[in-house]
Structure 1
Amino acid sequence: MQCLWRKDMGRSSLIFLVTLLWPVKCAVIPTKQSLGSGSCRDFKQEFERTFSIPGEVVILECPLQMHHLFDPADTPYNVTWYDERTGSEISELEQSIMLKKTQVWFFNVTMQQNGKYTCVVRTVNKCYKQATGLVVTEMTSENCVRPQCGLQQIRAHVNDLLACPLRKYLKSVDSPSIQWYKNCKLLQEDKKFVPNKDMLNIRKVHLDDAGFYTCKMTFRLAGVIHEMAETIECEVKDEYLMKPRVIEPVNEIIKVERGSSFRKNCIVEVQGKGIPLVEVIWKDQLDFISQNTSHRVHQEPMNESQTVDGYRMERTLLLSAVSEEDFYLNFTCMAFSSRGHPTGQITLVPADPNLLLLLGLLLCSVALLFVTGVILCTTFKVELALWVRNVFPFLYQTTAGDGKQFDAYIAYPRVLEGSSENAEIFAMSTLPQVLEGQYGYKLFILGRDGLPGEAVVDVVQDALSRCRRLLLLYTASSLCSPEAQDWAEQQTGLYQVLVEDSMSVVLLELEEIHQPLRLPHTVRLLKDKQGALQAWKRRKRWAFWDRKSEERVNSLEPSARFWRELRYHMPIRGKAKERNWFSF
């Protein structure tokens, strides 16, 4: 680190040289003028001074910052130097002095030239001035250490370097070369010290490397060789921070779902002792990520903590909702420091489908479809079956050729007067109108289709042998009396069918039965086994789960659902013929 607030100048040869001024938009008045108060804007004396010893070359630089006062490139100006001791203008007519641009050179400086000098800059309308100090001190030390020297620090256990303070004059002279000395001993290039122009590289700095280092610049000016020197007091500081290291991320490819939130920490570690001057920041391929938390993509403030071995920095990248434009885009975490700029990178890609989730969704869908199908089939079983029969009759075998003449035998007791009136009206009128008139079924109704004079038992047995179904109609009183039971027993064929279950029987209940135990035993068993079609009630379609959602209707005008259920139990009139699989 170059020493601040000092300008130590090196020694030069004792050769006197006077050269011509090389003007660049400057004009120096060759005649001497006294430094009066005038109208110049005074910036007082600068704090920084120039130190030298007798016999050296000293360069004073005008302390005015002219680029802050006017534009030197477009504004004509001239520079004049004054000696505060005499108040007179400095010119090149004086011995061992040269004016060059904004500098004044003293060759072979003496103790008498110790003092304050003022630089005056004049434009067409303005005037500015500021003073600087020159301190000339005798050399009193025996180890070649100058009275005033700059201070620079280097760190132990690593490679570090010293900068020659004379480097700022390299462009002002011709053919400059620099040599390095430690305690007045010339340093040659070896494994420890590597001189490199205006820098001295010191490898694997040790505490013993502290001391006084001198850089001597040899240069040529107007054909004459000169020398300048500067001494540096070098301190070795046993505190050193290693190069930052990005722990996380390390070139990661991360799968993420669209629309989901995402956060990623960038973790940087710095080992060693000292003050870590490290800044961790996220950037994309175009620019640094915003720190505005209202943005969809932003980064949080950096957190810094101390660890056993050094320091830990952490900064979080946040995406409130991942969009399509974020995929395959590189997000880079950078650690800025004087010792390097390590980086870590992540790339977001669309996440693979979750097979377990898809399988679960599939199973749930299948289960839902199954439950829905069961509910629909349970609720609309009759409607579905009738629809399939109507649309695909070729799936069912035809009833032609099965030896049967009628689709159903209609049976109802006719015993007591008035007790079976509804049943007789329903059997003789309502059923034929619907089943025969609308749907084309063939019915055998006792009393309508039998021949006069035939015995009832013979008629029943013969008719039942020619029918595919038995429809038994009953009311609240028609089967609940002893006379009704005797009627059933008298019709031997009917009784045999009920007892032996040799034919499909459909019970048609025309009135509500309040005392079901009074029914004949065979009818009661059959009702418990397969149920009965109740023409006296109507269910509400969308309240099938509520068994109480029923209303009584006139049994002579049953609901449409009753007729659908009756058709469901009637024989299927298909179109497919029975095949003989053993014929060739």
Structure 2
Amino acid sequence: MCCTNMGRSSLIFLVAVLWPTECAVISTETLGPESCRDFGQAFERAFSIPGEVAILECPLQVHYLFNPAETPYSVTWYDERMGSEITKLEQSVMLKKTQVWFFNVTMQQQGKYTCVVRTQSECYKQATGLVVTEMTSENCERPQRGLQRISAHVNDLLVCPLRKYLKSVDSPSILWYKNCELLQEDKKFVPNEDMLNIRKVHLDDAGFYTCKMTFRVAGVVREMAETIECEVKDEYLMKPQMIEPVNEIIKVERGSSFRKDCVVVVRGKGIPMVDVIWKVLLGSEEEFISQNTSHRVHQKPMNESRTKDGFLMVRTLSLSAVWEEDFYLNFTCMASSSRGQPSGQISLVPVDANLFLLLGLLLGSVALLFVTGVLLCTIFKVELALWVRTVFPFLYKTTDGDGKQYDAYIAYPRVLEGSSEKAEIFAMSTLPQVLEGQYGYKLFILGRDGLPGEAVVDVVQDALSRCRRLLLLYTASSLCSPEAQEWAEQQTGLYQALVENSMRIVLLELEEIREPLRLPHSIRLLKDKQGALQAWKRRKRWAFCDGKSEERVTSLEPSARFWREVHYHMPVRGKAKERNWFSF
């Protein structure tokens, strides 16, 4: 916006301290009876014209040298032209704190002046200059003037450089001039003490503006003036607008990472002199967030981009892990510019425990586990039961002492040729190899275990009474003929077991039965009730191999699944002597 020459003495003093080899030669010299630390001559000078008031400011900034509130000090001025001290007795000169006031300054008073600051133990000095020049310009342009820039097409203002003296004088009043013409309040210009408001700035408003201050000091009316060279730039940037954050309260989890963008928009054209910064309020003091990205709490470099109607600034606040101490702090993002300093805040709070959500998740997990368990038990029922029997045999009652001699009675029709021969081979060879050889069961097979000459009916009746299971083997035609039914009826005990269901029966179907209605009625009922173990069916591991989930075996070579099911239906060899309520 506007630029002034205010505060230049402070800047020059810092430059003199930081770069003494370029700006000043610091030495120890004798001024009167004392030895003072010399800071050389300051670059800052005072400019005036004859007949006005000129003010010299001591270039020494005492607060950089010592604490003026705790250390008593005095200020003395020396005129280098005369080599003498300036006193209050001189006419048209007044000493005021750290200033020298020249009333009705003359060309002869131009020169070098030294300010000496003394404490009880130290002495400091630095020189400054007074330049008095005749004003010869027809446009009332002073020899030295400050530059201020204002923007076109908007309302803007100029600031009088003399405003810093308003509190040092009595009854001050300021008048504004443009090219020696006094400016009165109208639709264009609005003088307002130390500022001149210019409405709807136009390019023609550029020029030289003078602010003249009339005041009373030491009972005498005096005046002094400054000229401003005003430039009008055809660029204007609006006040920065804070898009986010806007006083937000954000819930985060402890230990989680967190990022928040501070988004600022500046509309207009020109060079945006805007700085976006994050800070945090700790106690009663505000601290800027570190820009070191290795810190847990830091802010990223500002990202500036041009938009269709202005500029977009984004700066990100980042917390790699949110700690307990971060909660309820006010993190503030501020956009600093000459047109304003909008800001927005966020506060982090811990996430509340949602009991209903937790309960819902818990119940959902339990339901999922239950359904999964039911499905697994249904699919792997046989495998699971066999595993439990092997690992935990003490859960099952022992078969010792139950009065039975055999684990199973093997029955199959022997009256037909063809498929009945396959059943006989399976019963006499394959079944004993697996159940007796691998699992250690004891089987009764008619024709193998009975004594020669015994009546078949008596043998069957007696053997069944000593067996725990009845395994009935049949093929496609072995039970589907009158001869097969006569065979079953001849074995009175077998028929009684089928009809009366006096013992547990396992049906072993060795071939596919395409006409199930031809089976004996008792076999059909039993199959409908408990099913049959189908040795002719083999399940494939992957159903999508050829679009079929099952295949038929051409020979009596059952799958491993079939043998596990047979094993599952055989008596359990437990070790528990008392009855156990766990069973499969």
TM-score, normalisation: structure 1: 0.59
By how many angstroms is 1:144 displaced?
Answer: 2.2
Paired amino acid for 1:281: I
By how many angstroms is 1:471 displaced?
Answer: 6.9
Structure 2 vs 1, CA of residues 300 and 76 (structure 1 numbering), >3 Å: closer, same or farther?
closer
How many aligned positions are there? 442
In the alignment, which of 137, 146, 149 is matched to residue 145 of structure 2?
149
**Structure 1 contact 507–531 (Cα < 8 Å) conserved:** no
CA shift digits 1:280-320 (9 cap, x unpaired): 33456646555455555543332223334332222223344
Task: Return the alpha-carbon distance in structure 1 between the equivalents of residues 343 and 324 of structure 2.
Answer: 25
In the alignment, which of 168, 180, 187 is matched to residue 183 of structure 2?
187
Q: How do 1:163-312 and structure 2 match up within 5 A?
A: 163-250=159-246, 261-283=257-279, 286=282, 289-291=289-291, 293=293, 297-312=297-312
By how many angstroms is 1:262 displaced?
Answer: 4.1
**Structure 1 contact 78–121 (Cα < 8 Å) conserved:** yes
**1:100 is matched with which residue?**
96
**Structure 2 contact 57–98 (Cα < 8 Å) conserved:** yes
Structure 2 vs 1, CA of residues 548 and 317 (structure 1 numbering), >3 Å: closer, same or farther?
farther
Name structure 2 gaps, 5 residues minimum.
Answer: 10-29, 390-396, 398-402, 411-454, 473-483, 508-518, 535-559
SS of aligned partner of 2:45: strand
Structure 2 vs 1, CA of residues 531 and 524 (structure 1 numbering), >3 Å: closer, same or farther?
farther
By how many angstroms is 1:255 displaced?
Answer: 6.6
By how many angstroms is 1:223 displaced?
Answer: 2.1
Paired amino acid for 1:299: Q
Greater shift in the superposed pair: 325-334 or 224-233: 325-334
SS of aligned partner of 2:171: strand
By how many angstroms is 1:366 displaced?
Answer: 3.7
In the alignment, which of 122, 132, 154 is matched to residue 136 of structure 1?
132
**Structure 1 contact 152–235 (Cα < 8 Å) conserved:** yes
Paired amino acid for 2:94: M
Task: Say if 2:336 is the partner of 1:340.
Answer: no
By how many angstroms is 1:79 displaced?
Answer: 1.0
Task: Return the alpha-carbon distance in structure 1 between the equivalents of residues 227 and 203 of structure 2.
Answer: 19
**Structure 1 contact 83–90 (Cα < 8 Å) conserved:** no
By how many angstroms is 1:249 displaced?
Answer: 4.3
SS of aligned partner of 1:272: strand
In the alignment, which of 561, 573, 580 is matched to residue 560 of structure 1?
573
Larger radius of gyration: 1
Q: How do 1:55-74 and structure 2 match up within 5 A?
A: 55-72=51-68, 74=71
By how many angstroms is 1:244 displaced?
Answer: 1.8
**Structure 1 contact 4–150 (Cα < 8 Å) conserved:** no
Task: Say if 2:11 is the partner of 1:3.
Answer: no
Paired amino acid for 1:265: D
In the alignment, which of 366, 369, 377 is matched to residue 365 of structure 1?
369
Task: Return the alpha-carbon distance in structure 2 between the equivalents of residues 117 and 69 of structure 1.
Answer: 20
By how many angstroms is 1:210 displaced?
Answer: 1.4
Q: How do 1:388-407 and structure 2 match up within 5 A?
A: none
Task: Say if 2:172 is the partner of 1:159.
Answer: no
By how many angstroms is 1:94 displaced?
Answer: 4.2
Structure 2 vs 1, CA of residues 82 and 368 (structure 1 numbering), >3 Å: closer, same or farther?
same
**Structure 1 contact 42–130 (Cα < 8 Å) conserved:** yes
Paired amino acid for 1:114: Q
Q: How do 1:507-522 and structure 2 match up within 5 A?
A: none
**Structure 2 contact 52–222 (Cα < 8 Å) conserved:** no
CA shift digits 1:517-555 (9 cap, x unpaired): xxxx989998996579xxxxxxxxxxxx88778999xx9
Structure 2 vs 1, CA of residues 341 and 78 (structure 1 numbering), >3 Å: closer, same or farther?
closer
By how many angstroms is 1:272 displaced?
Answer: 2.7
**2:106 is matched with which residue?**
110
CA shift digits 1:74-96 (9 cap, x unpaired): 33435142241x33444445443
By how many angstroms is 1:166 displaced?
Answer: 1.6
**Structure 2 contact 533–565 (Cα < 8 Å) conserved:** no
**Structure 1 contact 327–350 (Cα < 8 Å) conserved:** no
Structure 2 vs 1, CA of residues 123 and 245 (structure 1 numbering), >3 Å: closer, same or farther?
closer
**2:437 is matched with which residue?**
none
By how many angstroms is 1:490 displaced?
Answer: 8.4
Task: Return the alpha-carbon distance in structure 2 between the equivalents of residues 506 and 567 of structure 1.
Answer: 20
**Structure 2 contact 506–532 (Cα < 8 Å) conserved:** no
CA shift digits 1:367-392 (9 cap, x unpaired): 21212443686555999xxxxxx9xx
Task: Return the alpha-carbon distance in structure 1 between the equivalents of residues 365 and 95 of structure 2.
Answer: 91
**1:374 is matched with which residue?**
378
Structure 2 vs 1, CA of residues 311 and 359 (structure 1 numbering), >3 Å: closer, same or farther?
farther
**Structure 1 contact 187–193 (Cα < 8 Å) conserved:** yes
Over aligned residues, Cα RMSD in angstroms? 5.6
In the alignment, which of 79, 99, 102 is matched to residue 82 of structure 1?
79
Q: How do 1:470-485 and structure 2 match up within 5 A?
A: none
By how many angstroms is 1:164 displaced?
Answer: 1.5
Structure 2 vs 1, CA of residues 313 and 54 (structure 1 numbering), >3 Å: closer, same or farther?
same
SS of aligned partner of 2:60: coil
Structure 2 vs 1, CA of residues 506 and 144 (structure 1 numbering), >3 Å: closer, same or farther?
closer
SS of aligned partner of 2:237: coil
Task: Return the alpha-carbon distance in structure 1 between the equivalents of residues 469 and 485 of structure 2.
Answer: 19
Q: How do 1:480-559 and structure 2 match up within 5 A?
A: 493-494=492-493, 496-497=495-496, 501=499, 503-506=501-504
By how many angstroms is 1:248 displaced?
Answer: 3.9
CA shift digits 1:29-52 (9 cap, x unpaired): xxxxx9879844433332222222
Paired amino acid for 1:118: T
Structure 2 vs 1, CA of residues 364 and 245 (structure 1 numbering), >3 Å: closer, same or farther?
same
Q: How do 1:412-491 and structure 2 match up within 5 A?
A: none
CA shift digits 1:425-454 (9 cap, x unpaired): xxxxxxxxxxxxxxxxxxxxxxxxxxxxxx
Structure 2 vs 1, CA of residues 153 and 87 (structure 1 numbering), >3 Å: closer, same or farther?
same
Structure 2 vs 1, CA of residues 251 and 546 (structure 1 numbering), >3 Å: closer, same or farther?
farther
**2:40 is matched with which residue?**
44
CA shift digits 1:224-263 (9 cap, x unpaired): 2222222211112223322222334456676766765443
**1:10 is matched with which residue?**
none
Task: Return the alpha-carbon distance in structure 2 between the equivalents of residues 123 and 328 of structure 1.
Answer: 49
Paired amino acid for 2:132: V
By how many angstroms is 1:270 displaced?
Answer: 1.8
Name structure 1 gaps, 5 residues minimum.
Answer: 8-33, 384-389, 391-406, 414-454, 475-484, 510-520, 533-544, 569-584
**Structure 2 contact 73–117 (Cα < 8 Å) conserved:** no
SS of aligned partner of 1:56: coil
**Structure 1 contact 81–90 (Cα < 8 Å) conserved:** yes
Paired amino acid for 2:310: G
**1:15 is matched with which residue?**
none
Paired amino acid for 2:341: H
Task: Return the alpha-carbon distance in structure 2 between the equivalents of residues 325 and 277 of structure 1.
Answer: 34
SS of aligned partner of 1:47: strand
Paired amino acid for 1:2: T
Structure 2 vs 1, CA of residues 290 and 355 (structure 1 numbering), >3 Å: closer, same or farther?
farther
Task: Return the alpha-carbon distance in structure 1 between the equivalents of residues 100 and 580 of structure 2.
Answer: 126
